[in-house]
Chains A and B, each alone.
Chain A
Amino acid sequence: MKALERCRTVALILAGLLLLAGCATTGEETAGAPEDTGAATTPSQEEAGTDGAPEEGDGAEARRLEDGAGAEGEALAEGETAPGEEAVLRPEESRVYFAFDSSEVQEEGRELIQAHADYLKANRQIRVLLEGHTDERGSREYNLGLGERRAKSVRRLLGANGVSSSRLEVVSFGEERPLREGDSEEAYAENRRVRIRYQGEGS
């Protein structure tokens, strides 16, 4: 969790910088704007908001995250680069985990997603692939849908944190690419994930 804390710190500093810089964030989408347009190239207004987990509104999501952003902070570790956009480090953790048969992002995941959002806002040329996965139980086809729903939950949260959806691609592998084989609860939990994969990143 060290990486996460560091990111949070960096995020906090970045937030401060942005504040100083005036409304630098207006270049990105407004947090909470409907981003659920299916795909970057073929937006479908008709379906906006109907995919993924309907249990959370985007706006509510964004507010909660803003609340959390200022909660804690630490000084930058020695040797970190000077403040500026390059200073935002990419979080080491790239996986958001989910509860059984759920596509709702839990608190820990929200913090991680925010850290990634901060990094993406500082590095606007980078694109990201959000890979949704499930555990092996149940229908493979249904799990394909569930994996997509999870990836879209993460996309929605990144969007709510100001990352343009045109930079975020979603793909679902369902239960087909487990991180860990086996029938244990631990393996299942590890496999229920969305991998945030940066452009050019291997597996």
Chain B
Amino acid sequence: MTRSLLAALVVLILAGGAVRPAGAVLSIDIRQGVQDPLPVALVPFSWEGRGEPPGPVAEVIGADLRRSGLFRLVSEDAFLSRPHVPEEVRYKDWRLVNADALVIGRVRPAESGRRVEVRFRLYDVFSQEQIAGMRYTVDPGDLRSVAHRIANTIHEELVGWSGAFDTRLGYVVKEGGRFALMVSDADGANPREVLRSDQPILSPAWSPSGTDLAYVSFEQGRSVVYRHDLATGRRSQVAAFEGINSAPDFAPGGERLALSLSRDGNPEIYVLELDSGDLRRITRSGGIDTEATWGPEGRELIFTSDRGGSPQLYRVDADGGPPRRLTFEGRYNASPSWSPQGEKVALITGDGSRFAIGVLDLESGEIQTVTEAGPNESPSFAPNGRMILYATQAADGAGELAIVSVDGNVRTRLQRERNGDIREPAWSPE
């Protein structure tokens, strides 16, 4: 099983970025962007080698920028010139088509071996300056990744923060009573199956290095937490105590895992030292304590508890001590995801039946809803702290994923191109 997964992975890498294995691909489209998106002209990169270009670059960059909701790509039909090198850039051509920024680039075989060289430049059309320029030498199979990194640079230069394009998503697909834990690129490309089971899989959580996933699997007929090395396919059981073993979340640094275990009678928050196996109980209540999420410093946890009669969020020191209640409005506030920058917490907030995705500002204590109420679940912050990935339902009731910006202005949906539910998303670290 592990070996065949590994083989499949190798095949995917060899096949290169342009090939999308049929079936399990997410299609991502923008549903709502900002009112005045920044107009960017993206000239298709030239390929200066023989035969077909080794893979798409400008196409991937363009798709990333479009999905971010903050940019408008100037139609290629309007272009007055198609520069690939600085000498060919005439700023006037781009002012005339109302582009604020211009992206050019080229791809050619590297001097040695089968690697390729990618160069790109970003210009400010008004100031007539180059804002950024990079050269990458990579294997053809890494072209998509390079394109995502270029899109990140463009995003960062133009709006001030990275687009988190060169990241991955973990999620669970349920199809016909079977479950698969999947990992794909943030744009849905390169999907691969990490685990397949005929029993439920839930709550995938990334290690800070992006090398491992922890998750809950029911393959033994009950909830057990596993840690899975994505490169080798090796995995180990990290919590299989009596009762519930669930809700893993890696601490920054990766050496500790927060968990919810009911081994002492009812679900409580624990912190497990992964190397030593030392287990420390953090909460003591008669209620359900679960879904702990680490703060960026690794010193505090925010979790869900119904100790006060209904599910609400609490904050506790990771060394223990009395938890402090964070949410008071609404009958049901749960599923916290602490932003990597620390000031905000994404959550579901609702009446117990329908939920909006909310953003709790830890300083003011106020919750801003960023979606309407509905079947929304499992928010997960992007590593840039600007977007929230969550599970929702399509009109036909099938599970799908969606992304909303923290201000609620940009919305994207990630649909599966095949039947089946997609759920339990987790955005990888940068």
Contact = CB atoms under 8 A, between A and B. Distances in A.
Nearest to B267: A145
A48 B304 CA distance: 22
B342 to A, nearest CB: 22
Interface string A154-172: 0000000000000000111
B152 interface: no
Given A101-B352, A182-B397, A44 B290 contact: no
Given A141-B246, A176-B200, A183-B397, A47 B291 contact: no
A12 interface: no
Interface string B172-186: 000000000000000
A58 interface: no
A137 B352 contact: yes
Nearest to B333: A139
B247 interface: yes
A163 B426 CA distance: 43
Given A47-B265, A141-B203, A170 B375 contact: no
Nearest to B391: A140
B304 A142 contact: yes
Contact of B266 (A41, A51, A142, A182): A51
B397 A145 contact: no
A176 B216 CA distance: 12
B242 A141 contact: no
B325 to A, nearest CB: 16
A171 B246 CA distance: 13
Contact of A36 (B203, B265, B306): B265
A193 interface: no
A149 B264 contact: no
B240 to A, nearest CB: 13
B113 interface: no
Given A148-B267, A172-B223, A50 B286 contact: yes
Contacts of B202: 140-141, 176
B382 to A, nearest CB: 20
Given A140-B203, A140-B378, A52 B266 contact: yes
A177 B244 CA distance: 16
Given A54-B286, A148-B243, A177-B200, A139 B304 contact: yes
A173 interface: yes
B265 A50 contact: yes
B377 A140 contact: yes
B167 interface: no
A145 B263 contact: no
B353 interface: yes
Interface string A129-160: 00000000111111011101100000000000
B334 A142 contact: yes
A145 B265 contact: no
User: Contact size class for B?
Assistant: 35 or more
Interface residues of A, number: 35
B263 A51 contact: no
Contact of B311 (A38, A142, A149, A173): A142
Contacts of B264: 38, 44, 46-47
A42 interface: yes
Contacts of B267: 144-145, 148
B243 A39 contact: yes
B286 A145 contact: no
Interface string A59-74: 0000000000000000
Contacts of A137: 352-354, 375
A44 B352 CA distance: 32
Given A145-B244, A148-B244, A176-B202, A138 B332 contact: yes
Contacts of B266: 47, 50-52, 145, 148-149
B360 interface: no
Contacts of A39: 242-243, 263
Contacts of B223: 144, 172
Nearest to A140: B202
Question: What 5 A-B pairs come out closest when comparing CB atoms?
Answer: A47-B265, A145-B288, A51-B266, A176-B200, A39-B242
Given A137-B352, A140-B203, A142-B311, 8 more contacts: A47-B265, A137-B353, A137-B354, A139-B335, A139-B378, A142-B291, A145-B288, A183-B397
29 contacts: A36-B265, A41-B242, A46-B264, A50-B265, A50-B266, A50-B285, A51-B266, A51-B286, A137-B352, A137-B353, A137-B375, A138-B332, A138-B348, A139-B290, A139-B311, A139-B348, A139-B377, A142-B290, A144-B244, A145-B244, A145-B260, A148-B262, A148-B266, A148-B267, A170-B243, A171-B222, A172-B223, A173-B218, A177-B200
